[in-house]
């Protein structure tokens, strides 16, 4: 099998050398090019057509955010943002909104006790993202409108209880999708919202701050033992599963268990099905893999309302596709309609529904 071809974009000579050496050690990878700034990166992407890009954020002449926008518009390529979470989180989130698939902290010095683990995380992320077939990202003025297909026929009971909580799962492409959904919810939204986003723990505080500014609802990291409140958005902090106890309180579980991810969307969805039953809304957004599909199926079986993002608006149609294949999604919606669908479902409690009813109408 041909090795994964990596382009490294980093302005620091020392850090660029460190990244190149690290990647070259992986038996299934090769560095085919090095760029010192975004302008060089764009030229090399056009010339070399790498399988994946390791992209710094702060660089002279043209930074990683602007380079990501240009690459995703002209030469769609899997991009992993490799930067410092403490100072670059805002731009990293914006780059992911522009089409980058993941963000990960730069490896520390070799003397750091976590050096080996962090290096392996970086290489594994590049390896995984290289497999993703990315789509072209247009600017707001020229992006084609996605096709909107019919919703799946619902098998919900004739009388649907009023929802009391919204739970959302997302992975690659998630930050931008979450901003789009939360931005459509009003400031007086009456339900708590709990979110699991696959992202390294170092970037989770930055994601919370970024989403907090992206919409009218307050967003912060969840705290173990707290009771989710109406109009409040809680994010799994990273490194622990976010669950709900039978009393409805937040549980942060540091034991990974059999889940591929930590936090896992399935862990949140399963606990929501156990705690809230039919009085919940579950949503699977863009992401790689199948996390959330089994949990969303449990929620739907319990009578909850369930939504999956449609293929045309996903950065990666992995998690929603898996949920749809399992029959877990009652509705399949384009991203721009999911926020309004949540509002509609919240206002339709105890109303009769049938297969022709559209939550986003």
d(CA 23, CA 183): 38
Output the pLDDT for position 148.
Answer: 41
In a domain, 359, yes or no: no
Share of the chain above pLDDT 90, in %: 84
In a domain, 333, yes or no: yes
Measured CA to CA in angstroms, residue 340 lies from 225, 266, 273, 359 at distances of 30, 24, 23, 8
Query: Does one domain contain both 115 and 181?
Result: no
Instruction: Read off the pLDDT of each residue in 120-128 and give the average, rounded to a whole number.
Output: 95
Measured CA to CA in angstroms, residue 103 lies from 265, 278, 314 at distances of 19, 35, 18
Q: pLDDT of 292-325, one tens digit each?
A: 999 999 999 999 999 999 999 999 999 999 999 9
In a domain, 254, yes or no: yes
Tell me which residue has tokens 């109406």.
230
Query: Does one domain contain both 272 and 178?
Result: yes
Tell me which residue has tokens 């959330």.
292
Q: pLDDT of 10-33, one tens digit each?
A: 999 999 999 999 999 999 999 999
Task: Render 127-162 in DSSP notation, one character per residue.
Answer: HHHTT--------TTTPPPPP-PPPPPP---SBPPP
Residue 351 has pLDDT above 60, yes or no: no
Measured CA to CA in angstroms, residue 293 lies from 196, 297, 335 at distances of 13, 6, 18
In a domain, 354, yes or no: no
Catalytic residue positions, numbered: 171, 198, 291
Residue 117 makes CB contacts below 8 A (sequence gap 6+) with none
Query: Does one domain contain both 289 and 187?
Result: yes
d(CA 73, CA 90): 21
Query: Does one domain contain both 105 and 249?
Result: no
Query: Does one domain contain both 177 and 240?
Result: yes
Query: Does one domain contain both 277 and 180?
Result: yes
In a domain, 177, yes or no: yes
Q: pLDDT of 98-115, one tens digit each?
A: 999 999 999 998 899 989
Share of the chain above pLDDT 70, in %: 89
Q: How far is residue 179 CA from its own chain's centroid? A: 10
Query: Does one domain contain both 171 and 262?
Result: yes
In a domain, 146, yes or no: no
Residue 140 has pLDDT above 50, yes or no: no
Query: Does one domain contain both 63 and 206?
Result: no
Structure tokens at 21: 């050496």
pLDDT grade for 282, boundaries at 50, 70 and 90 = very high
Quick check: helix, strand or coil at residue 68? helix
Query: Does one domain contain both 170 and 124?
Result: no
Q: What CATH number has the domain bearing residue 259?
A: 3.40.50.180
Least confident piece of the model among 67-76, 154-163, 249-258:
154-163
In a domain, 141, yes or no: no
Would you give the DSSP letter of residue 185? Answer: S
Would you give the DSSP letter of residue 287? Answer: B
d(CA 17, CA 12): 8
In a domain, 154, yes or no: no
pLDDT grade for 134, boundaries at 50, 70 and 90 = confident
Residue 355 phi/psi, 5-degree rounding, is -65, -15
Full domain range(s) for residue 114: 4-129
Query: Does one domain contain both 121 and 37?
Result: yes
Tell me which residue has tokens 């707001």.
140
Residue 361 has pLDDT above 70, yes or no: no
Output the pLDDT for position 309.
Answer: 98
Q: What CATH number has the domain bearing residue 26?
A: 3.40.50.2300
Query: Does one domain contain both 176 and 34?
Result: no
Output the pLDDT for position 184.
Answer: 96
Q: pLDDT of 143-177, one tens digit each?
A: 444 444 444 344 444 467 899 999 999 999 999 99
d(CA 168, CA 284): 6
> pTM of the entire structure?
0.89
Output the pLDDT for position 354.
Answer: 43
Residue 40 has pLDDT above 60, yes or no: yes
Residue 2 has pLDDT above 60, yes or no: yes
Number of domains forming the structure of the chain:
2
83, 112, 129: which is the final residue of a domain? 129
pLDDT grade for 352, boundaries at 50, 70 and 90 = very low
Query: Does one domain contain both 184 and 310?
Result: yes
Using DSSP bridges, classify how beta strands 250-253 and 241-244 pair: parallel, antiparallel or unpaired: antiparallel
Least confident piece of the model among 189-203, 213-227, 245-259, 338-352:
338-352
Tell me which residue has tokens 């990666």.
316
Residue 226 has pLDDT above 50, yes or no: yes
Output the pLDDT for position 348.
Answer: 67
Least confident piece of the model among 132-141, 219-228, 347-356:
347-356
129, 158, 183: which is the final residue of a domain? 129
């Amino acid at each position: 099998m041909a090795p994964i071809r990596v382009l490294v974009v980093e302005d620091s000579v020392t850090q660029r050398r460190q990244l190149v050496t690290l990647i070259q050690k992986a038996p299934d990878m090769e560095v085919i090019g090095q760029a010192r700034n975004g302008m060089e990166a764009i030229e090399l992407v056009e010339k070399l057509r790498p399988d994946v890009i390791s992209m710094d954020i702060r660089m002279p002449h043209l930074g990683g955010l602007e380079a990501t926008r240009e690459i995703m518009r002209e030469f769609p390529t899997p991009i992993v943002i490799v930067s410092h979470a403490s100072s670059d989180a805002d731009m990293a989130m914006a780059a992911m909104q522009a089409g980058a698939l993941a963000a990960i902290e730069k490896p520390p010095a070799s003397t750091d006790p976590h050096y080996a683990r962090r290096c392996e995380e970086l290489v594994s992320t590049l390896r995984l993202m290289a497999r993703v077939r990315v789509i072209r990202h247009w600017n707001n003025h020229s992006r084609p409108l996605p096709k909107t297909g019919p919703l799946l026929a619902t098998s919900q009971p004739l009388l649907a209880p009023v929802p009391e909580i919204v739970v959302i799962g997302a992975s690659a492409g998630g930050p931008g999708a979450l901003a789009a959904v939360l931005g459509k919810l009003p400031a007086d939204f009456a339900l708590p919202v709990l979110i699991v986003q696959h992202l390294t723990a170092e970037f989770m505080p930055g994601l919370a701050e970024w989403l907090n500014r992206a919409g009218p609802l307050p967003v912060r990291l969840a705290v173990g033992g707290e009771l989710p409140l109406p109009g409040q958005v809680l994010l799994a902090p990273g490194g622990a599963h976010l669950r709900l106890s039978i009393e409805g309180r937040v549980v942060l579980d540091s034991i990974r268990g059999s889940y591929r991810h930590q936090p896992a969307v399935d862990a949140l969805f399963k606990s929501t099905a156990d705690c809230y039953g039919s009085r919940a809304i579950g949503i699977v957004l863009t992401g790689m893999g199948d996390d959330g599909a089994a949990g969303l199926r449990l929620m739907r079986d319990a009578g909850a309302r369930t939504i999956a993002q449609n293929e045309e608006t996903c950065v990666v149609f992995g998690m929603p596709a898996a949920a749809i294949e399992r029959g877990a999604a009652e509705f399949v919606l384009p991203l721009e309609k999911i926020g309004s669908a949540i509002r509609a479902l919240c206002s339709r409690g105890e109303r009769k529904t049938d297969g022709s009813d559209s939550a986003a109408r």
